[in-house]
Amino acid sequence: MSAAVMNDILTPVKRASARMETRNVFEEITGTVGDVTVENAKMRTRGVDVFYGDKQAIHDVSLDIGNNEVVAMIGPSGCGKSTFLRCLNRMNDTIPSCRVTGSMSLDGEDLYGEDLDPVLLRARVGMVFQKPNPFAKSIYDNVAYGPRIHGLASNRAELDDIVHESLKRAGLYDEVKDRLESPGTGLSGGQQQRLCIARTIAVNPEVILMDEPCSALDPIATARIEELIDELRQNYAIAIVTHSMQQAARVSQRTAYFHLGKLVEVGDTNTVFTNPSHELTENYITGRFG
C-alpha cells in the first residue's frame, strides 16, 4: 500500500481528533480575548445575540469599529461573521425569524432604536456584497441610483459630479468613462464589484460593510479592490468579512476571529496573525481547520 493511500485513510482520523480537541477548547470560551474597544469608535456593539428562530447564531459579541480603520472579520464558514456584519445595517430585518438583542450603535445612536430609521441607517452604513450585483441599468444609473432616491443632487450637473467622482474613487472611471450609458451587467466581474463599491460610496456613507467582496474575483481584480479598500480607509470606517487570511492581513488594521457564533479574539492584525493569544485563533490561522 502506497504512502498516499495510507494518508488517505489516516487523515480523516487525525482531523476528527483535531476537531474534538478544538471543540473542547471552544466550550471553555468565556469571553473575547483582546481589547474590543477603540478610541474613536464609529460603531459600537455590546453583548449582541442574534437568533434565527430558536437557533442562536451569535453569542454575546462586543466589537467596536473605529474611524479610518479596516476591521477584518475572519473565521470558518458558519461562524456568524456575515450575520454579525448584516446586523450592522439591519439587512437581517427582512428575515422574519431573525431576532437581535444587545446594543449596537452608530455614533452613539441605537441602531435598533426608535429614532434611527433602517432606511436612513442603510444610507449611512453602506454595504458591498459577496457577489457583484449591479442593477439591470446603465453604469451611470447604477451609481446615480442612491443619490437619486436620497435626493442628494439638486440638478443633473451635481449628479454627474457625484457619479464621476464615485467612479473615480472606485478606480473604475478610466475604464468606463466612454460607455457610462451601457449596462452595468455587461462589465467584467472585477469591474462590476468596483461598480458596486462606487454605487455604495456615491451615497457618501459613514461606514462601509463588505461581505467577502473578492470571493468571486480573480487575483488581479482582488488586488485592485484591496488597494481601493486601503484608499477608502482614509474617509470611512470599514468592516470586511473575508475567507482569505492573506487578504485580512493585507487590508485590515484590526482583526476579529469568530468561531461558532462567538467572537474569540480581537486585536491588531499583526498581533493576531503573528502571535495569537487564543488556541482556536492559532489553529485557524495556521490552517489546522477551517
Partner 1 sequence: MSDENNKPGTTDLGKRERAGRERGAGDPGGAMAAAVSGTLTGGEHRGGSAGPDLPNHTGTGQGTAGDRVGARVQSGLKRRYAAERRFRMYGLFAIAATLSFLALLLISIVSKGLPAFSQTYMQLDVMLDADTLGVDASDSAGQLRGGNYGGVTKAAMRERFPEAESRSDKKALYGLLSTGAEYELARRVIADPELIGQRLQLWVPADDELGALIKSGANLADPDGIVTRMSDRQIGWAADMQATGELDVRFNRTFFINGDSREPELAGIRAALIGSGYTLLITFLLSFPIAVSAAIYLEEFAPQNKWTDLVEVNINNLAAVPSIVFGLLGLAVFINFFHLPRSAPLVGGIVLSLMTLPTIIISSRVALKSVPPSIREAARGLGASDLQVVFHHVLPLAMPGILTGTIIGLAQALGETAPLLMIGMVAFIVDIPQSITDASTVLPVQVYLWADSPERAFMEKTSAAIMVLLAFLICMNALAVMLRKRFERRW
Q: How far is the CB of 39 from partner 1 (least distance, A)?
A: 25
Cβ-in-10-Å burial (0-12, 13-18, 19+) of 189 comes to middle
Give the 3-state secondary structure percentages of the chain, helix then strand then coil, rounded to 5: 45, 25, 30
Tell whether residue 171 is a contact of partner 1 (CB under 8 A).
Answer: no
Strands annotated E in the chain: 41-52, 55-66, 70-74, 98-106, 109-110, 125-128, 207-211, 237-241, 254-259, 262-268
Which residue among 83, 89, 193, 281 contacts partner 1 (CB under 8 A)?
Answer: 89
How many CB atoms are closer than 10 A to CB 139? 29
Does residue 249 interact with partner 1 by CB under 8 A? yes
Candidate ranges 21-29, 70-78, 88-96, 171-179; the one touching partner 1 (CB under 8 A): 88-96
Q: Does 182 bind partner 1 (CB under 8 A)?
A: no
**Interface with partner 1 includes 274 (CB under 8 A)?**
yes
Tell the residue number behind the cell numbers 455590546, with chain if given: 46
Residues binding partner 1: number (CB under 8 A): 51
State which of positions 201-240 bind partner 1 (CB under 8 A).
Answer: 203, 219
Does position 3 interact with partner 1 (CB under 8 A)? The reply is yes
Q: Which three cell numbers stand for residue 144?
A: 446615480
Residues 6+ apart with CB under 8 A from 61: 32, 45, 47, 48, 49, 80, 84, 102, 258, 262, 263
188 contacts partner 1 (rule: CB under 8 A): no
> Shortest gap between Cβ of 24 and partner 1 (angstroms)?
21
Of residues 125-154, those binding partner 1 (CB under 8 A): 126-127, 129, 131, 133-137, 145-146, 149-150
Question: Which of 38, 58, 72, 245 touches partner 1 by CB under 8 A?
Answer: 245
38 binds partner 1 (CB under 8 A): no
